[in-house]
Structure 1
Amino acid sequence: MPPSRRAVLGAIGLAATGGVAGCLDSSTPGRIDDAGLPASAAATTSFRGGLHRRGVYPDATVPAEPRVEWTLRGVNTGDHTAAKASPVATPEGDLVVPGDAGDVRRVNPDGDVVWTAAVEETARGIHGTPVVANGTVYVGAYDGALYAFDLGTGERFWRRVLGDAIGSSPGYHDGTVYIAVEYYDPSGAMFGVDAVTGEVVWADHRPTDHPHSTCALDRETERLVVGSNDGTLYAWTYPDLTFAWSFSTGDAIKGPIATYDGSAFFGSWDEHVYRVALDDGAREWAAETGDMVMSGPAVEAATGTVYVGSHDSRLHALDAVTGNTRWTFDTDGSIIGCPTVAGDHVLVGSYDRTCYALEKLTGEARWTVDGVGYVTSAPTVVDGAVYFTDRASEAHLDGGDGPTGGLYKVGPAAGG
């Protein structure tokens, strides 16, 4: 008789006590997660590459001369302007991609849909990016529920209603799924949910005003942190999950939190990017941008650089120690999605309906690929190809027959 999912996850949870849940590249043998520690035997892929949410893939390569190999339409169809969900890789090299139409799809590199699963409320569908752990896809939806789907078949294992809406992305560690949840009040909470049963094992209702931010878990400093629309960064000790401290900004913290070198990095709608100490919540620096910051930062340890977008249409490259600007790149639209560092490049989407590949040391544009709608997902690199999703076209949103938002695969040009 094959082992049960409980037995498998339990065994992996014990192994993960000395290992890691998040990995940089699930398709790379001997993978190393973004803490620089060996990954556990069970592959886990998640939004921003791991529990630290740094969005950095040092061994990834992108096409030198790109072409769109295929586009899968119908992924995003709604008018909600929050950043769209990003595709994540499976250990086998397929993609799992949710959309605001309310579907989760597993898609292979040829663009074939392996399976489709649906959430129960499709008015705003899904904006959070899944975590894939131990053969299960975990994702939250705007019906306020956290879902667990079988990675192989798309079968739903369980659905747990936690609140009124979930716009954030889950994290997984040691048998527990962590996610921020919103209520209509407006208020919110952070939850820990048993990965096998869907039962709530921990909750804290301190975050208020629709927490949309995605949490980070930093095992070196023993902190779990998340932002909220109330303008506050919240921190708990880990693994005992005792409230530790809070840090207030002047406006909403909507984007993912990244952790590196004992600090949390994040943007605020008060037009600043912050570095805050994880041990006590002290501000270490605040870098001013020209507009709100909804984008989550990519933090590269090798170069000591923080890459983050802003509504000012610029991608900002900041010194991680000082917060000083190294370079900026101006697009023609707001940047609300997260950048991805892939080898020597930074990939980022914009409201100008374009996905950019920039040289990470200088900010010089190497290539661009156009979508039909705003490109607000974080680009994902798998086996040398770039995947991203976009919003539906304005023609579609206006009730016409324009194209819906899709999943794009960008590969090398013929002969490239």
Structure 2
Amino acid sequence: LIAFSLLGLVLASCVPGGTQPAQGWSGITLNDGILYMGSMDGKIMAVNPSARSQNLSFPADGEWEYPITAPSGGGLSCSQTSASVAIYGTPAVDEALVFSGGYNGKVYALNASARSQNLDFPQMRDNEWFYPKTSEVIGAIVGSPVISEDAIYVTSSNGKVYCLDKHFGDKKWESDILAKKLWSTPYIEGDKVYISTFDGHLYALSAEDGSITWSFAIAYPKIGFVSSPAVYEGTIFAGSFDGNLYAVEIGESEPLWNFTGGNCFWAAPVVSNSTVYAGCLNGKLYAIDATNGTELWSFDVGSPIVVSPILVDDSLVVAAESGNVYVINPKTGIGERIRNPGNDNKPTINALVQASPCAQEGIVYIRGQDNCLYALDIEQGRVIWKFPLTTQ
């Protein structure tokens, strides 16, 4: 039920007659000491964690914000005037360029230097662009863009995968229609692009031209994959609406194994050292043997898990949708909750968590659905600062 309510939230965002404001669940990317994310009021933001720890005025060094809007009468605008666009995917960053997809059906490349100077967009001499380059749009973009060499890969709600030139935004190819909607984030490995679909298919596409090189279909009709895929040592892992996590060897037509949880596996699994770590909507994080699907341990966080866990040094960090954050030993499954700094009876950050976190040097960064950015020190087990992303 939670999975379908989340789908309904997306459908209501920034569509004609929709009642939900543009929000989104954009995760966080860290590049060269700067955090990049989409805010709930439709901005791409660059945040300097050093400046935030000192509580400096925004924007400080390396910080900027750029609002993504849909112009009057353009595509999926919420009204006849310009409206903020929901950003669901996590930005991808390569050197000075920040890539993001909007629910308005546009892909954007932003130059950090140009945005920090608040120059008109796009600054083409700084390799800024948007796609499509006309007033047209592709389907709403929910998955995150992925960078590989000189290309950007993105899925669209029109059921296609797009490959765009990283520097200029020119379309290299678009795939055939793979499903009615594509909301998953592509997984790139070698010369293949891996995709999971709501209608129960896994695909391997050629990164060169988008042609299908392999496909797999769940045996049960009309049961689709809900999570984005992960690939590890020739096997693709993805969660489905039937409450199973599937492991399929690439090139095969039958699953290697499937693991049944108490609900859907909404978030993409994480695989490390032959162990699959998968959060479930039943509130449990499972550690599963990647070779045979045997459960190694489970940890109950008390509420649905809708974001992937992350490995931080020798620990596994998982954020429950409730806002509680746990630090777990990935080998034993023993863990503890990071406490709320103001009230131990409240969740760790006292806000819903539906956006993917990131970490560096023992600090985990989480964007809550209260449109605030939180920094948590894993070794100390505490929240060290909070920054509102609504800056005006």
Query: TM-score scaled by structure 1?
Result: 0.71
Give the structure 2 partner of residue 106 of structure 1.
46
- Answer yes or no: is the 8 Å Cα contact 1:308–1:316 preserved in 2: yes
Q: Does 1:86 align with 2:13?
A: no
Q: Distance in 2 between matches of 1:226 and 1:240?
A: 15
- C-alpha deviation, 1:280, in angstroms: 4.0
Give the structure 2 partner of residue 46 of structure 1.
none
Q: Which amino acid aligns with 1:256?
A: S
- Answer yes or no: is the 8 Å Cα contact 2:43–2:65 preserved in 1: yes
- Answer yes or no: is the 8 Å Cα contact 2:40–2:371 preserved in 1: no
- Answer yes or no: is the 8 Å Cα contact 2:185–2:229 preserved in 1: yes
Which of 231, 245, 251 pairs up with 2:214? 245
Give the structure 2 partner of residue 152 of structure 1.
113
For residues 292-331 of structure 1, what are the structure 2 equivalents within 5 Å? 292-300=264-272, 302=273, 304-331=274-301
Q: Which ranges of structure 2 fall in alignment gaps of 5 or more residues? A: 1-19, 53-57, 71-82, 116-120, 123-127, 340-347, 385-392
Q: Distance in 1 between matches of 2:101 and 2:93?
A: 13
Q: Distance in 1 between matches of 2:163 and 2:319?
A: 31
Which of 171, 178, 190 pairs up with 2:153? 178
Q: Which ranges of structure 1 fall in alignment gaps of 5 or more residues? A: 1-77, 392-403
**1:270–1:374 Cα change, 3 Å:** same
Give the structure 2 partner of residue 409 of structure 1.
375
- Answer yes or no: is the 8 Å Cα contact 2:262–2:282 preserved in 1: yes
Deviates more, 1:195-204 or 1:244-253: 244-253
Give the structure 1 partner of residue 318 of structure 2.
348
Which of 68, 85, 103 pairs up with 1:119? 68
Give the structure 1 partner of residue 194 of structure 2.
225
- C-alpha deviation, 1:103, in angstroms: 0.6
**1:333–1:367 Cα change, 3 Å:** closer
Q: Which has the larger radius of gyration?
A: 2
TM-superposition CA deviations, 1:107-141 (whole Å, max 9, x none): 00132441001212456510100111131001111
Coordinate RMSD, CA, aligned: 2.3
Q: Which amino acid aligns with 1:97?
A: M
Which of 88, 91, 99 pairs up with 1:138? 99
- C-alpha deviation, 1:177, in angstroms: 0.3
Instruction: Give the total of aligned pairs.
Output: 317
Q: Which amino acid aligns with 2:88?
A: H
- Answer yes or no: is the 8 Å Cα contact 1:97–1:104 preserved in 2: yes
Which runs of 4 or more aligned residues in structure 1 lie more than 4 Å from their structure 2 counterparts after TM superposition? 78-82, 412-416
Q: Does 1:380 align with 2:355?
A: no
Which of 162, 169, 185 pairs up with 1:214? 185
Give the structure 2 partner of residue 21 of structure 1.
none
Give the structure 2 partner of residue 32 of structure 1.
none
Local SS of the residue matching 1:266: strand
- Answer yes or no: is the 8 Å Cα contact 1:245–1:281 preserved in 2: no
- C-alpha deviation, 1:413, in angstroms: 4.5
Question: Higher RCO, 1 or 2 (CA under 8 Å, sep at least 6)?
Answer: 1
Local SS of the residue matching 1:182: coil
Q: Which amino acid aligns with 2:139?
A: D
Q: Distance in 2 between matches of 1:81 and 1:329?
A: 30
Which of 211, 226, 248 pairs up with 1:254? 226
- Answer yes or no: is the 8 Å Cα contact 1:347–1:356 preserved in 2: yes
